Amino acid sequence: MRPILLQGHTRALTQIKYNREGDLLFSVSKDKVANVWYSHNGERLGTYSGHQGSVWAIDVNANSTLLVTGSADNSCKLWEVQTGRCLKTWEFKTAVKRVEFSEDNTMVLCVTEERMGFSGTVTVYPVNSDVNGTQSDTPVVTITNNGGSKAVVAGWTCLDKYIITGHEDGTICQWDWKTNEKVKSIHPHEGVLSDMQFSPDRTYFITASKDKSAKIFDSLSLDEKKSFSADTPLNSAALTPKHQEFVILGGGQDAMNVTTTSARQGKFESRFYHKILEEEVGRVRGHFGPINTIAVHPDGTSYSSGGEDGYVRVHHFDPDYFTFKLEI
């Protein structure tokens, strides 16, 4: 499985995302730009320039016409995918750490940082699908976890019924965004939640945490379904949608400590676990530094990882991956 190396960023990757068909791969990093690539051969199609700080998050809508990015310059930008034109900039008091389109693509949520006396929020804005139409400045709802830990990741459940937030202290909350009320709250992790990714139908999701574990939860009941333990802090966790029942975990020793260890000791591999049996089945090496973000192709035929080393590695699975069976 020879990876395709994408060299389009000068600093650490923060998030990568496939579009719904999987032909496009979007990447953002701390170097202020977002890139779009052909996922099958790694050809770069273009960049989205305009942010003045590190870009923390990215998402693309279902028909690949609109792109949203969240940045440390305290803004969230809406882009036209095809032309790279910035359609709207929403300004905030603090950095935007996570963005995600709703399932019906009519709204976008932005998770803002808790800084300088400003409380962290999850702000939802309406999105006009017409690229030449006007975009609203008025949020649909602003969710604040009063008295609780700040949200660091968030996403929509199936049919946009709830918003799920993951917090710095390891809690997960479920919000009815129409009434701005907290429905449920659980505390499954001991460390900060670093990633949250949903299944294709959004009925369950996987979390990754600095407490060296990843867990799968039901979106509506928040019941814990599966748990995967690693030997290193995790930065990302992804679900394989087809062919194999796997989860892919990525992380490694914190970037600030990396210079003191070898690549093997730093544990910078992508780890594959069997989703049902919770057993590790393999690892993929390659990054010189922690893996910050992992995304799986919607068809389940390949996956990509973005690292602290500034590279995106696109791995197309070998034929024996699709026939692999775990011996019990």
Per residue of the chain (328 residues), what is the pLDDT tens digit? 899 999 999 999 999 999 999 999 999 999 999 999 999 999 999 999 999 999 999 999 999 999 999 999 999 999 999 999 999 999 999 999 999 999 999 999 999 998 888 888 999 999 999 999 999 999 999 999 887 889 999 999 999 999 999 999 999 999 999 999 999 999 999 999 999 999 999 999 999 999 999 999 999 999 999 999 999 999 999 999 989 999 999 988 776 665 555 555 667 899 999 999 999 999 999 888 899 999 999 999 999 999 999 999 999 999 999 998 887 7
**For the purposes of burial, counting CB atoms within 10 Å of the CB of 319, is it exposed (0-12), middle (13-18) or buried (19 or more)?**
exposed
Residue position matching structure tokens 């369950």: 204
The closest alpha carbon to 79, from 47, 56, 53, belongs to 47
Q: Where are the alpha helices (DSSP H) in the chain?
A: 263-266, 319-323
Domain ranges of the chain: 4-323
How many other C-beta atoms can be found within 10 angstroms of the C-beta atom of residue 157? 20
Measure the CA–CA gap between 202 and 158, rounded to whole angstroms.
Answer: 5
Domain at 4-323: CATH code: 2.130.10.10
Measure the CA–CA gap between 116 and 136, rounded to whole angstroms.
Answer: 27
Residues 67, 70, 73, 78: is their CA dihedral positive or negative? positive
How many other C-beta atoms can be found within 10 angstroms of the C-beta atom of residue 326? 12
- The pLDDT value given to residue 26: 98
Measure the CA–CA gap between 268 and 262, rounded to whole angstroms.
Answer: 10
Residue position matching structure tokens 């963005």: 99
Across 113-245, the runs of DSSP E, i.e. the strands, are 121-126, 141-144, 151-156, 163-167, 172-176, 181-186, 193-198, 204-209, 213-218, 224-229, 234-239
Structure tokens, 66: 């609109």
DSSP of 2-22, one letter per residue? PPEEE---SS-EEEEEE-SSS
The answer to whether residues 144 and 150 touch, using CB atoms and an 8 Å cutoff, is no
Q: Which residues pair with 48 in a beta bridge?
A: 34
Structure tokens, 127: 């999105």
Structure letter (DSSP) for residue 317: P
Structure tokens, 72: 């440390």
